[in-house]
Amino acid sequence: MGFVSQPVLSLRTVEGLVDLARSLASTTDLQTVLDTVCRALVDVADFGSAAINLVTDSGDLKVVAVAGPPEVGEALLGLEAPRHEWDAEFAASVPHHGLLLSKESGESSVAGSWTSDDTEWFDRTADDPRAWKPDYALFVPMSDSAGEMIGVVSVDMPRSGLVPELAQASTVEIVARQAETAIAAARTLARTALNERIYRLAFDTAATLTAIAEVGGAFVDANRAFREALPDVTDAAAFDRAVTVHDGGRGMCDALDGVFGRGAPAVTFVAETGRGGDARWFRVTVRGIGGVASAPERAVCTIVDISFERREQMRHRRDAEHDPLTGLLNRRGARGAMDALLGRVAPDAVVAVLACDLDGFKAVNDRFGHHVGDEVLVQTAQRIRSAQSDDAVAIRLGGDEFLVITECASREGAEAAAEALVEALRCGVVVDERLVPVTISVGLAAAQSATIDGLSGLMDAADRALYDAKAAGRTRWAVSSQALA
């Protein structure tokens, strides 16, 4: 008795296919469907590139979605090829596990395959008889319920470097058939009045702020959430005046120009409204809409509140740049703060670097325990901050070592800053109603701002001055003899 070979899909592949089905079920936007399918062909089916061609009104096929390296989109997106050339390509292809394997796609003018110039990629499996060649491509023609072709799915450069076996080919076909179903469904909905009613209901009740823009920047429609949040915003220019754009974005006007004028499928940027505790952050995505194979006539502008995500990012960044015990800057966070200080000081101001080290701290840990030592460090940080100006940069370098960089009006002001640090801890600190006898020694190095090219020299000089203060008896400050104003 014979057995029929069946594809065995990995758990990862099955999970990827389930996720794809969920994603496709959650949207009726055809371009979103196509983009999602292409990504699945790369991420789930394990190919280096994927493309979807749709049949246009003229009967030709046009590349409307791609996934893979940026050069794939640059090479394929928007290309068209006549139907008869596709028919010839299919005729020259050979069946392969339910798909069509073309072995001469590099010599064809159809817009469904991309030939990489990465020779090393092909060389790694060149000796294998199953090796994937530069001119190979796999095609899956798609049809509607009447049997009419509606498009073609194509994939290239399997990550294994080999012609796909049954399981991988079956995964491609499953994804392609989901695309086929979704495309047919989307086109059917587009022909019915029900589609408009569904869209209207979803649009008006969506929690996401959404507006429809036309060429020129006017918002011709906006849902309830958008109107309530931005009642006075009627066009792209008014939106840009109402927000602050972050992360290198250029705002709504530029995003619309990218979609309408430069042919970008979508443009995303981050915008902020309000300040301080009232600030809100939004991720704005502008995507052109219209016929899938024609230039967009309108653009959907979706505005998603990412305030929580943004605050979490800021918290994580702050945690990464601050000492968790004392709240002072750590070495990682110090660089940016020092650069900012040097960037804002006046040329005639004096920049003071104060290297600080606790006196007797090791004995505190040995005598009272590390929990008392930690509290001593916390109180030390608080007193350092209180003894300096609000603009001073205070850093915990590690252990009981601290560093302060501050702007002063004169040499005397720098010396007063050093003295203030010594006095802040001259009488020790109290922990659990017990006096802990720790003091601080300080090394000072200062120079006029206009003469400084970075702080490394001053920091070295401050360290040497700190050594002098320790050697002279501790609980005091010493000043460097080098490069002082």
**219-227: long-range pairs with CB below 8 Å, 24+:** 219/301, 220/298, 226/303
User: Does any domain span residue 316?
Assistant: no
Residues of the chain with pLDDT under 50: 1-4, 485
Residue 413's φ and ψ, nearest 5 degrees, are -65, -35
- Looking at the structure, do residues 87 and 148 belong to the same domain, yes or no? yes
- Looking at the structure, do residues 471 and 327 belong to the same domain, yes or no? yes
Neighbour count for residue 245 (Cβ, 10 Å): 17
Token code pair at residue 429? 């600190």
What are the tens digits of pLDDT across the range 99-136? 999 887 555 556 556 667 777 888 888 888 888 888 88
- Looking at the structure, do residues 359 and 286 belong to the same domain, yes or no? no
- Looking at the structure, do residues 292 and 361 belong to the same domain, yes or no? no
User: Does any domain span residue 484?
Assistant: no
User: Does any domain span residue 54?
Assistant: yes
Amino acid 3: pLDDT:
45
- Looking at the structure, do residues 213 and 139 belong to the same domain, yes or no? no
Among 171, 190, 209, give the residue marking a domain's end. Answer: 190
User: Does any domain span residue 155?
Assistant: yes
Neighbour count for residue 90 (Cβ, 10 Å): 15
Amino acid 485: pLDDT:
46
- Looking at the structure, do residues 389 and 241 belong to the same domain, yes or no? no
Instruction: Decide if 476 contacts 357 (C-beta within 8 A).
Output: no
Among 146, 168, 190, give the residue marking a domain's end. Answer: 190
- Looking at the structure, do residues 209 and 150 belong to the same domain, yes or no? no
Tell me the CA distances in angstroms from 436 to 358, 380, 402, 440, one per residue in order.
12, 12, 19, 13
CATH number (domain holding residue 26):
3.30.450.40
Amino acid 6: pLDDT:
54
Residues in the chain: 485
User: Does any domain span residue 84?
Assistant: yes
User: Does any domain span residue 1?
Assistant: no
User: Does any domain span residue 3?
Assistant: no
- Looking at the structure, do residues 326 and 449 belong to the same domain, yes or no? yes
- Looking at the structure, do residues 239 and 342 belong to the same domain, yes or no? no
CATH number (domain holding residue 241):
3.30.450.20
User: Does any domain span residue 317?
Assistant: no
Domain count, the chain: 3
Amino acid 98: pLDDT:
87
Residue type, position 250, single letter = R
Among 311, 341, 358, give the residue marking a domain's end. Answer: 311
- Looking at the structure, do residues 235 and 183 belong to the same domain, yes or no? no
Q: How far apart are CA 68 and CA 345, in angstroms?
A: 48
**β 439-448/477-479 pair status:** parallel
Amino acid 4: pLDDT:
46
Amino acid 482: pLDDT:
66
CATH number (domain holding residue 412):
3.30.70.270
Amino acid 75: pLDDT:
85
- Looking at the structure, do residues 44 and 137 belong to the same domain, yes or no? yes
Buried b / exposed e over 52-75, threshold 16 CB at 10 Å, is: bbbbbeeebbbbbbbbbbeebbeb
Q: What is the domain extent for residue 354? A: 322-479
- Looking at the structure, do residues 36 and 172 belong to the same domain, yes or no? yes
